[in-house]
């Protein structure tokens, strides 16, 4: 996840957008003619009812343990799973400075777009793989780091190849190249047979798509010249399915794609698209649901053609939406602004220790900055994932 359609964010982050626009048009022009079918109108998103302050936020209990273990975890996609890869590339989409990481072990900013741990860390921990997942590009990775899995994700990336170009993130195609490079390193450590076991029995998690919609399509409008939202979400789903097939061809056999959350309700979209009352942006939420539906259908169709493989779509929209509609149930007091700064538009360079004040109790906030959830929100969502969505992976041992 990177930056939205906010004019202020664009002024800070996309200085060269004028030139990038022409590159973008050249990259996109050959792919698809515009299809005049925008799909049905999105349904309104209900506003959560206010309630009394619940006091200290309760901590979720660890998920139930399973007998099956995974030798490694591999993360692909955008900032939801990026554990620091953007620290080592030329991009403005970074989080390697305080207050990012203020609640991470030792209070160290690592490039995670959060105040602490993110889903790739929690999932690996809950599954008994390791406490945190290192970034593949981090120098000095040990043999043990590599053998138990790494993150290839990059904040600002997406299924649309144009999305990472605009912000100089790591494209999904390059993440696959790194994965293949990684496999060769593992073979050098443990041999071909053992390496193939680690890759086939490891869990590959993919999270992307929100930047395609929030930034490339609705933010900078770079794809609206060629696509309506129906055809664009079809293109995204086809790109995601192709990525799944390439993971399979690389040896992965346990692959989970997590869908897009209600991105119209993240603070920066409320600020830029929600009017004076900062309501959820219904258009973006509809687009997210449309993509999720197509991704689920495409992956299910592909899964039927792949032998000895678990390929599943994992819905996050409903769980995320429930947190927004029922914040008191989860111990949140604030769900429409981030903890950093005003919480209305700050993220990345705009959320820093020199210019941004912080909220008093970060655990009572659902969002850390104007785009990314807090560590505590991620912890709740990750627990739900491990408890409710891992069944197919355990069934196909």
Residues annotated as catalytic (active site), given as ranges: 79, 369, 372
Which is nearest to 368 in space by CA: 52, 109, 130? 109
Residues 6+ away with beta carbon under 8 Å from 291: 209, 213, 233, 236, 237, 259, 260
Per-residue burial over 306-335, b if 16 or more Cβ lie within 10 Å, else e, is: eeebbbbbbbbbebbbebbbebeebbbbbb
Residues 6+ away with beta carbon under 8 Å from 354: none
Cβ count within 10 A of residue 140: 6
Which is nearest to 285 in space by CA: 266, 257, 299? 266
Q: Is 367 helix (H, G, I), strand (E, B) or coil?
A: strand
Residue pair 160/32 in contact (Cβ under 8 Å)? The answer is no
Phi, psi angle pair for 233, to nearest 5°: -70, -30
Q: Give dist(CA 316, CA 135) in Å, integer.
A: 23
Helices (H), the chain: 7-13, 17-28, 119-126, 143-147, 162-167, 172-190, 192-201, 210-211, 229-249, 267-273, 282-303, 317-325, 375-388, 391-395
Residue pair 4/219 in contact (Cβ under 8 Å)? The answer is yes
From first CA to last CA, the distance across the chain in angstroms is 33
Structure tokens at 268: 């920066």
Over the Cα atoms of the chain, what is R_g? 20
Cβ count within 10 A of residue 106: 6
C-alpha angle with apex 355: 350 to 359, nearest 5 degrees? 90
């Amino acid at each position: 996840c990177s930056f939205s359609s906010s004019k202020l964010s664009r002024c800070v982050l996309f200085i060269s957008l004028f030139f990038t626009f022409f590159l973008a048009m050249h990259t996109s022009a050959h792919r698809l003619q515009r299809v005049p079918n925008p799909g049905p109108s999105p349904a309104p998103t209900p506003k959560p009812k206010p309630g009394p302050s619940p006091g200290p936020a309760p901590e979720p209990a660890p998920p139930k343990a399973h007998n099956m273990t995974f030798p490694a975890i591999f993360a692909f996609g955008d900032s939801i799973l990026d554990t620091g890869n953007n620290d080592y590339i030329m991009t403005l989409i970074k989080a390697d400075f305080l207050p990012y990481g203020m609640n991470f072990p030792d209070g160290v900013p690592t490039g995670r777009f959060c105040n602490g741990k993110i889903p790739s860390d929690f999932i690996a921990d809950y599954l008994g793989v390791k406490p945190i997942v290192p970034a593949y590009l981090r120098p000095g990775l040990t043999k043990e780091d590599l053998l138990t899995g790494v993150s290839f994700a990059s904040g600002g990336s997406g299924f649309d190849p144009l999305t990472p170009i605009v912000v100089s993130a790591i494209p999904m195609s390059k993440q696959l190249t790194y994965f293949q490079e990684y496999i060769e390193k593992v073979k050098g450590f443990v041999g071909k047979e053992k390496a193939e076991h680690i890759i086939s029995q490891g869990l590959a998690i993919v999270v992307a798509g929100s930047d395609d919609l929030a930034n490339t399509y609705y933010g900078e409008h770079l794809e609206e010249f060629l696509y309506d939202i129906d055809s664009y979400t079809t293109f995204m789903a086809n790109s995601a399915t192709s990525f799944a097939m390439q993971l399979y061809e690389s040896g992965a056999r346990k692959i989970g794609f997590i869908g897009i959350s209600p991105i119209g309700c993240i603070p920066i979209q409320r600020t830029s698209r929600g009017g004076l009352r900062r309501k959820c942006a219904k258009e973006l939420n509809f687009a997210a649901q449309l993509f999720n539906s197509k991704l689920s259908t495409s992956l299910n169709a592909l899964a039927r053609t792949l032998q000895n493989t678990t390929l599943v779509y994992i819905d996050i929209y409903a769980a995320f939406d429930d947190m927004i509609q029922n914040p008191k149930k989860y111990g949140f007091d604030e769900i429409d602004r981030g903890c950093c700064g005003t919480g209305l538009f700050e993220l990345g360079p705009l959320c820093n220790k020199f210019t941004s004040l912080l909220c008093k109790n970060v655990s009572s906030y659902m969002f850390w900055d104007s785009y990314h959830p807090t560590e505590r929100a991620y912890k709740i969502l990750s627990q739900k994932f491990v408890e409710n969505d891992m069944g197919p992976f355990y069934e196909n041992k």
